[in-house]
Amino acid sequence: MSGGSSWRIPVPPKTNELLSSWLIRAARRYACTPSDFTHYVWGSNPSWTRDLDRWASISAIATLNHRLRGDVREATSTSLRSFCERLGSPPPGPGITPGILAVGVYHRLRNRYGLQYCPQCLFEDQEPYFRRDWRLAHVWICTRHGCVLRDCCPSCESPIAPHRATFLQVEKCWECDSSLLVTSPAASDQEVSAHAHIQLFWQTNSIGAGKAIASFPDWLAATRRLYATLASTNPGQLMLKNALTAISHPRSSTEPSHPLFELGRVEDRGRLLTAIVSMTHDWPSTFLRLAKGVGLRRNQLITFSHSSITSCLMSVAKMLPLESRKPRRKQKKAPAYLRMSTADARQRIDLSAAIARRIASLPSAPSKHRSEEV
Ligand SMILES: [Zn+2]
Ligand SMILES: [Zn+2]
């Protein structure tokens, strides 16, 4: 729907801007709350009680754009829907969209760390805004400033929720009102290199996997599986530790926060994706050596019913040993009397004769008379 007149103040989206960020800027310009603003534009349809960056329909964005007088193409690209095809993910629905960080909507709160930001970018913006790329799970570094992105308030560690910030000052924490513009640490050389590799796959939709060429969706499917393996199993964590030691990764090797890629904190994703790039650069040689070294089993790498597993990961998984089963305990031989039939037993045991022999062997009972004599 795009009927009705355009509004007086044009607020076009900025380059690479996220839909929710655009809405917040517009609400601020029109001096109202984000929920009042979306109510004016879209009526009573739920907006901030959903992850609207994933959910907003094309027609809803067209209506918004008509009111705010932006460019149609730029407006459409503010939604994360436009990433789905490139990620090989289905259109957004309930639950996780592969490759897109989850924000964990709870009423109007956010309880996951799925909105990242670069403090320096926000600081340098004339009008601070959040980038669409900051919701991608394979992005954890600002390529402009070379620093690791932040995914929470540096003071109180609350997830980022700019639509709740006081006076819509998005550079401040909605919870504690502290500045979000605290500089974040520079990324290590290994991380910068791994990040650059992945961004190249993302841009070109092509990655060399040994002799094969895989698409970005193939890479993502395999990476989500490797990420879960490295984050959740003992051999996986040992393999991660070995891979990080091999590349002298300076970051801590504490256990990752969550085995699901889209729920991982920014430091975990940086650490694990760097390890995955280092162990897959000569696919599958290094990976197989590390996997066999820590006794990784086929079933720990993939679930065969998992339809999205790529053929290149499947072919390597087949080179790993199957799950080891405990050898069956050898059954003890039953005693002979339990193994013979009843008929055999009757033949063998002449019960009456046995009783007679037993009675005969007993000492004779002392008589009452004798005891009286004593
Ligand atoms: Zn930046
Ligand atoms: Zn805070």
Residue 212 backbone dihedrals phi, psi, to 5 degrees: -90, 160
For 32, 84, 108, 167, 268, the CA distances from 259, given in Å and listed in that order, are 40, 22, 26, 37, 10
Residues whose CB is less than 8 angstroms from the CB of residue 113 and which lie 6 or more positions away in sequence, other chains included: 101, 151, 152, 159, 160, 265, 266
Residue 172 Cα to ligand 2 midpoint, Å, equals: 8
Residue-level pLDDT at 253: 55
Q: Which-ligand-closest: CA of 177? A: 2
Domain ranges of the chain: 19-168, 189-317
Q: Is the peptide bond before 284 cis (omega within 30 degrees of 0)?
A: yes
Q: Which-ligand-closest: CA of 120? A: 1
CB atoms near residue 172 (< 10 Å):
19
Q: pTM, whole model, 2 decimals?
A: 0.82
Reported as a single tens digit per residue, the pLDDT across 107-157 is 878 989 999 999 999 999 999 999 999 999 999 999 999 999 999 999 999
Residue 104 Cα to ligand 2 midpoint, Å, equals: 17
Q: What is the mean pLDDT of residues 264-278?
A: 93
Alpha-carbon gap, residue 210 to 225, rounded angstroms: 18
Alpha-carbon gap, residue 93 to 166, rounded angstroms: 30
Q: What is the mean pLDDT of residues 10-36?
A: 96
Q: Is the peptide bond before 217 cis (omega within 30 degrees of 0)?
A: no
Its sign, for the CA torsion 133, 135, 138, 139, is positive
Q: Which-ligand-closest: CA of 133? A: 1
How many separate helices (H) and strands (E) can be counted in the chain? 18, 4
Q: Which of 17-21, 92-96, 131-135, 165-169 shows the lowest mean pLDDT across its residues? A: 92-96
Alpha-carbon gap, residue 189 to 89, rounded angstroms: 31
Residue 29 Cα to ligand 2 midpoint, Å, equals: 24
Reported as a single tens digit per residue, the pLDDT across 217-253 is 988 988 998 998 888 878 888 888 888 777 777 655 5
What does DSSP assign to residue 77?
T
Residue 178 Cα to ligand 1 midpoint, Å, equals: 19
Q: Which-ligand-closest: CA of 139? A: 1
What does DSSP assign to residue 212?
E
Residue 160 Cα to ligand 2 midpoint, Å, equals: 9
